[in-house]
Structure 1
Amino acid sequence: MARRNDRRRAALVDAAIEVLARDGARGLTFRAVDTEAAVPTGTASNYFGSRDDLFTQAGARIYERLQPDEATIARQRAADRDRETYAELMRELVGRVASFRAGYLALLELRLEATRRPELRRVLTERVRADVDANVAYHETSGLPGDAMAVKLLMLTLNWLIVEQLTLPDVFSEEERDRLATAAVERIVGAEQTARPQG
């Protein structure tokens, strides 16, 4: 029974993500989630104590779904450790995150809503900080070029490139998006290496 309840809860949270992406934070109601999940009216309210609870669980779920799968991680670990490989990894990252359109748009809605909901702000702050720390830690052990500052600058740069792609997709073509991701790596990592003291 617990496993079935966990699956139902995950399906409801996934439905909440779709509602957030389509209708925004104001449209996220228990009824809208029930409709999106094709479950009887009142189901979502049985699983979530409040809209705040639904918001925070949706935020956590988006980050779960944005994680690369094991095959992607294994391929990245086996790749070369030069700047071109780094650029390829970043192009793949932008493409993978942008392909979860509903999740990323829902995340933008949640970030705006977090300015009004302290608990949601706390959850997102912890999750994003953990994501930053995990990316820096992975990078430091990976042997890829660049330092922690380069990782953070790339995260900030590429996040906005993803926002641009999802909200105004005609501003840059897919080819331009790839070139921009490559240029971000070359300039940020290259600048970091140039600035590093010699010997």
Structure 2
Amino acid sequence: MAQNPARRTALTDAAIDVLAREGARGLTFRAVDAQAGVPAGTASNYFANRDDLLNRVARHIHHRLTPDPAVLAELLRAPRDRALVTALMHDLLRRITAERAGYLAMLELRLEATRRPGVRDQLTGTIREQLEANIAYHLDEGFPGDRETVVLLYLAMTGLLVEHLTLPGVLGEDGLAALVDTVVERIVPLD
């Protein structure tokens, strides 16, 4: 296996883009090489097989979806109240919309996980770890609500994001911001 970490990351990012555009069936080493603009056969030097590639994508995809530290620091200057949670959910919607390929690739991985136990195990571990980290962060930072609040926000925002990115006509674009406000208002208790 080749050991250039920057090249491996570039190939993983290319795989995310291929997954988003072509779906899991279109994810081949050849397609990843073409997306990354590298010679044919390069991806096969970095990943043992397709499952290895899918597992690497499952671990890496969250890096593309992580909040910008500067934006997060600015948002966190506000009091830890429902208004801040609302601002964070709007930032989530903005980030995921901007990184549409990453989120669509995540949806493809979820579907692939129903067919491949190794991918399911990897993705379940990654998603559970992220959810637990979000719960701990919410509680440690003193945001309103409890563990259940975070789980409900996760479920509601996941559904909203799936509709927004896959079938935008269902919710419409115009009322999306108001819908995010309503989700937070209904789930997050006042201080």
| TM-score normalised over the length of structure 2 | 0.93
Gaps of 5+ in 1: 195-199
1:35 matched residue in structure 2: 34
2:87 matched residue in structure 1: 88
1:139 matched residue in structure 2: 138
2:126 matched residue in structure 1: 127
Cα deviation for residue 170 of structure 1 reads: 2.5
1:172 matched residue in structure 2: 171
Determine which structure has more spread, i.e. the larger CA radius of gyration.
Answer: 1
Cα pair distance change 1:95/1:164, threshold 3 Å: same
User: Partner letter of residue 116 of structure 2?
Assistant: R
Aligned Cα root-mean-square deviation (Å) = 1.7
1:106 matched residue in structure 2: 105
Cα offsets for 1:97-145 (capped at 9, x unmatched): 2211111101100011011111111111111111111111111121221
Check conservation: 2:80, 2:144, Cα contact below 8 A.
yes
In the alignment, the residues of structure 2 paired with residue 117 and residue 61 of structure 1 have an alpha-carbon distance, to the nearest angstrom, of: 18
Cα deviation for residue 9 of structure 1 reads: 0.8
In the alignment, the residues of structure 1 paired with residue 88 and residue 41 of structure 2 have an alpha-carbon distance, to the nearest angstrom, of: 43
In the alignment, the residues of structure 2 paired with residue 158 and residue 59 of structure 1 have an alpha-carbon distance, to the nearest angstrom, of: 20
User: Partner letter of residue 6 of structure 1?
Assistant: P
Q: 3-state SS of the aligned residue for 2:168?
A: coil
Check conservation: 1:77, 1:142, Cα contact below 8 A.
no
Cα deviation for residue 173 of structure 1 reads: 3.6
User: Partner letter of residue 29 of structure 1?
Assistant: T
1:60 matched residue in structure 2: 59
Cα deviation for residue 77 of structure 1 reads: 2.7
Cα deviation for residue 172 of structure 1 reads: 2.8
1:75 matched residue in structure 2: 74
* More deviation, 77-86/33-42: 77-86
Cα offsets for 1:1-52 (capped at 9, x unmatched): x98x111111111111111011100000001111111111111111100000
In the alignment, the residues of structure 2 paired with residue 51 and residue 186 of structure 1 have an alpha-carbon distance, to the nearest angstrom, of: 43
* More deviation, 123-132/169-178: 169-178
Gaps of 5+ in 2: none
In the alignment, the residues of structure 2 paired with residue 47 and residue 31 of structure 1 have an alpha-carbon distance, to the nearest angstrom, of: 13
In the alignment, the residues of structure 1 paired with residue 146 and residue 74 of structure 2 have an alpha-carbon distance, to the nearest angstrom, of: 22
In the alignment, the residues of structure 2 paired with residue 151 and residue 35 of structure 1 have an alpha-carbon distance, to the nearest angstrom, of: 40
Number of matched residues? 190
